[in-house]
Structure 1
Amino acid sequence: MSGKVRYKPLYLQVKDVILTRIEHDQYRDGESIPTEAKFAEEFGTSVTTIRQALTLLVNDGMLIKKPGKGTYVSKQKTKLRFFSWIPETKRGEEILTEVITRFEQKYPTITVECLPTPYNQARKNLMQLISGGNAPDVVHIQSHWTSYFASIGALEHLEPLLDKGNLDNRFYEKDLVAGMYHNKLYSVAWGVCPVSMVMNTYLIKQAGLYPLPSPMTLEIFFECCQKLDHFYEGEDKYCYALNVSTDQESDFLTIYFFLLAFQGSFVNDRGDVIFNSPGNVAAFTWLRNFVRSVRVFKSTIHDIRKRFARGDIAFIADGPWIKYQLEEYTGAPFERNFEVVLNPVQNPGAKSRSWNYNHALAICSQSQYKHQAAQFIDAITNDYDISNLYYSQVGHLPANRTYLSAPMYDSDFFNTYKQQLTHASCINAHNASFSKAMIFCTDAVKKILYEEREIEKELNEKEYYLNMLYSD
């Protein structure tokens, strides 16, 4: 994954081979398997090694030892509990049900129960399950939540569990680095999700502004928004939308690409806070002037998406999951009403930058079925048929980078997000206090954009508190 040789003990390798045979019905439910001595002869290893492997499979519920008779394949299926917010919409529920059904058909010894949660309550609900000793086996999280949950011992180290091919085919800087805590991997991307601009083509065409360059310079984008305001004057229409909610992360993170356009950031690669950098000062100066000058809709992300789908907002910034959500709102294919455009740049010829708001998967340390949980993650992120069934409908870019060239991802929607991915990376969220830091960052957004606070003074003050937080 990162240049290191990954060693797997022999007894775990033997366990994997036997488990694969069970899953592919080479050893059928209720039937006996070969003796320890026969396995030892087949694998060229000791009986002790075989016994270690079989004991793990017995503990996992895959095998049953019958004294005096031998070892048999259990008729009882392993039931995994999967925590996710994908089912909070009807279309999301349909897609996930289809994916789980496909998985269970391919892995008949495992069943999956989905534990649905609203996205805006996901972190709190997951924490309650973990605290109550009732943690799910597999959890759907944002990649930047990883450091916190890993720091409290809630997540399992993944490298010994996941298939090496799955890890080797992933992006490092755009995926795996976001799931690291203290140099160990605790989560992997379910889908790679660069944030990009999305436009309502109907509004743009009605105003006579279509087509638009991709990317636009910030100056052209600003002028476009002013023209939209003038064209739709007196109507309940907005040129752009900003997230304003109780979610202390997304309010800041949804404007983060504007900071990147000015070479701003939150922390550098070493983890040092650089919140009062010249780039951030310039970005917030531009943003405040923008918010003062044009009609910007301010609400929760759910309201923004609904109003955007209705044709009330011209531009929003969102991840590729917007595909299935807008298709559910409108009942029409994404391309009929919307188009993805690269994030604005400061100067002509500059690279359009973004960051990856990756949906991620992790295994809870409380799980009794870690091996099966890893198989589930491997399948829904790396199995060609199962994973691409999900990605092609939801809109995420595949975690397996070799799938990006598949024909199903050759569309304007996917091609623009792939282009955005070229200069996108993961935000440095390795500090376990990252989510607390977002409270300070969001407060700075509020005070600068809506309360007229002096920009450099506010950023200096917040950097002071952020350094105190990160030094603990």
Structure 2
Amino acid sequence: MNDETSLSNPLYTQLKDQLLKRIAQGVYKRGEPIPSEGKLADEFGVSVFTVRQAVALLVAENLLVKQQGRRTFVADQKTRLTFFTWLPETKHGERLLAELIAMFEAKYPSLTVECLPTTYVTAKRDLLQRISSGEAPDVAHIVSHWTSYFAYMGAFEKLENLIAQDNLEARFYDKDLWGGSYRNRLYSVAWGLCPIALIANKRALQDSRIAELASPMTLEHFVRACKQIEAHTGRHTLYSYGFNLTGNETDFLHIYPFLQAFRGGLAETQGMVQLNSSENVAGFRWLKQFVRECRVLFADMQTLRQRFAQNEIVFISDGPWIKSALEDLTGEAFDQNFMVCLNPVVSGTNSYSWTYNHALTICTQSTHKLQAATLIDALSNDPQISAYAYEKMGHLPVSQAALNDPRDQSDFHRAYKRQLVNARCINAQNMFFEKAMDFCVDAMKKILFEGADIQRELDEKEYILNMLYSG
């Protein structure tokens, strides 16, 4: 036990949390007695009086049952956790979630999970509505760069003392935990590592007599391959590349790897905005020329994936969840029709990316925070449960040890693991990050579609973003 006590966290509440963790994790099972007061006092180095206070709190919460003249038992009832997630929006995800919940409830019989379904497109709005109405879930499935938005309003719980220490220590900082932090506190953890990479359509490449692609290609070779495909097929329905265009931050974030190829980006590690850098100017200049010279399709991501699965697009950029999405659309194994390539590079440089991580968090309104942490630990780092989740979702495991497991040798995962080497979280720790994305998307549209001068447009947005971030 922590010897330091305060009015807000006395020893008996610390002990209560420790006992509650053991109940949630199945160490003390439903209907079975917990150790005697004397044994608990000896184990935790506290007085019997402190043990009685802690036990009394759990009895008052109906988690323990104290029988007259007998020992104290774990209540023979389950704690219900609510889990907000977009996983069920596909049939594949719905089946997977049911399997994961069954595995979790079998391992932790004192807990049961109720799914609160949403869709990826509406998840942020739906979660905000639940929080505003006082109906926040215990555990929420989010995208990591949403963290600062919700943490700023006090909607998410700090996780350092809730998530198991071995889970936290197994993770990358720059590829995972940094993305879930706000003001140097942790509010979300990745549910799989998800670098963005270039996905190629094998059938379209074969039809264009392109037998092999370098991985990574240089940007010059990438453009050459796109033009060769268009010239060879002559199909007006075939697009060389699919650009995400939905009017929100995903538009800018999907072109981000092309800016990274020139070592550009939005903000430095310290948070200083660098939108008008010479590297970003070079990146946008390349993008503008690429859009002008090659046949590209601008559409929402769902449409792009559908057209890509129908062999109407040759290249798209996406995260590792693309595996299950395309297998749902085609009914065939990913590797049969598609391949993962590293993001294109400027000659002689590394292939860079950023981690578009799906993440898990605990809402402040939850009355079962320790049990909610047990669910996050299981889904993200349990050797059986998380391994099954990552296998089916396509995400890379968050544990560095699991990531390096030599048993996983599929071409798909090998490629994404290579992309992960030079990937890190985008700097989204400023509470105005989402608003900043609106200005970045506006700059992208004006440069690519309205003929705006690149330097002037980026200078203007740089000025606005610096006022936004400093204010």
Name the TM tier (shorter chain).
over 0.9
- Map of 1:426 onto structure 2: 425
**CA shift in 2, pair 1:77/1:211, >3 Å:** same
CA contact (8 A) 2:24 2:370 kept: no
Q: How does 1:367-406 map to 2 (within 5 A)?
A: 367-406=366-405
Q: Distance in 2 between matches of 1:45 and 1:143?
A: 39
- Paired residue type of 1:160: N
Q: Deviations over 1:49-94 (max 9, x none)?
A: 3235424534654213457766332122011000111111111111
Q: Distance in 1 between matches of 2:66 and 2:162?
A: 25
Secondary structure, aligned partner of 2:116: strand
- Paired residue type of 1:402: A
Q: Distance in 2 between matches of 1:255 and 1:157?
A: 32
Q: Deviations over 1:261-312 (max 9, x none)?
A: 0011101111111100000000000000000111101100000011111111
- Map of 2:408 onto structure 1: 409
- Map of 2:349 onto structure 1: 350
Task: Tell me how far 1:36 sits from its aligned partner.
Answer: 2.5
Q: Distance in 1 between matches of 2:220 and 2:268?
A: 27
Q: Deviations over 1:195-224 (max 9, x none)?
A: 000000110111111210000000000000
**CA shift in 2, pair 1:157/1:226, >3 Å:** same
Query: TM-score scaled to structure 1, two decimals?
Result: 0.94
Secondary structure, aligned partner of 2:339: strand
- Map of 2:137 onto structure 1: 136
Secondary structure, aligned partner of 1:254: helix
User: Superposition RMSD on alpha carbons, in Å?
Assistant: 2.1
CA contact (8 A) 2:195 2:319 kept: yes
- Paired residue type of 2:367: Q
CA contact (8 A) 1:306 1:329 kept: yes
Query: TM-score scaled to structure 2, two decimals?
Result: 0.94
Task: Tell me how far 1:136 sits from its aligned partner.
Answer: 0.1
Q: Distance in 1 between matches of 2:402 and 2:285?
A: 40
Q: Distance in 2 between matches of 1:258 and 1:21?
A: 48
- Map of 2:78 onto structure 1: 77
**Can you give the 5+ residue segments of structure 2 that lack an aligned partner in the other structure?**
none
- Map of 2:154 onto structure 1: 153
Q: How does 1:105-120 map to 2 (within 5 A)?
A: 105-120=106-121
Aligned length: 465
Q: Deviations over 1:348-385 (max 9, x none)?
A: x3100000000010000100000000000011111110
Q: How does 1:50-449 map to 2 (within 5 A)?
A: 50-58=51-59, 61-65=62-66, 71-246=72-247, 248-347=248-347, 349-407=348-406, 409-449=408-448
**CA shift in 2, pair 1:205/1:57, >3 Å:** farther
**CA shift in 2, pair 1:454/1:111, >3 Å:** same
Secondary structure, aligned partner of 1:197: strand
CA contact (8 A) 2:219 2:346 kept: yes
- Map of 1:3 onto structure 2: none
Q: Deviations over 1:306-343 (max 9, x none)?
A: 11111110000000010111110000110000000000
- Paired residue type of 1:289: Q
CA contact (8 A) 1:321 1:395 kept: yes
Q: Distance in 2 between matches of 1:206 and 1:244?
A: 27
**CA shift in 2, pair 1:208/1:55, >3 Å:** farther
- Map of 2:459 onto structure 1: 460
Task: Tell me how far 1:411 sits from its aligned partner.
Answer: 0.9
Secondary structure, aligned partner of 1:211: coil
**CA shift in 2, pair 1:61/1:264, >3 Å:** farther
**CA shift in 2, pair 1:12/1:359, >3 Å:** farther
Task: Tell me how far 1:37 sits from its aligned partner.
Answer: 3.3
Q: Distance in 2 between matches of 1:471 and 1:416?
A: 39
Secondary structure, aligned partner of 2:298: strand
Q: Distance in 2 between matches of 1:195 and 1:70?
A: 55
**CA shift in 2, pair 1:403/1:53, >3 Å:** farther
- Paired residue type of 1:323: K
Task: Tell me how far 1:38 sits from its aligned partner.
Answer: 4.0
CA contact (8 A) 1:179 1:188 kept: yes
Q: Distance in 2 between matches of 1:119 and 1:142?
A: 9
Task: Tell me how far 1:33 sits from its aligned partner.
Answer: 3.4
CA contact (8 A) 1:187 1:361 kept: yes
Identity of matched residues, %: 52
- Paired residue type of 1:444: A
- Paired residue type of 1:287: L
Q: Distance in 1 between matches of 2:214 and 2:162?
A: 45
Q: Distance in 1 between matches of 2:236 and 2:178?
A: 45
CA contact (8 A) 1:174 1:192 kept: yes
Q: Distance in 2 between matches of 1:166 and 1:318?
A: 27
**CA shift in 2, pair 1:53/1:333, >3 Å:** farther
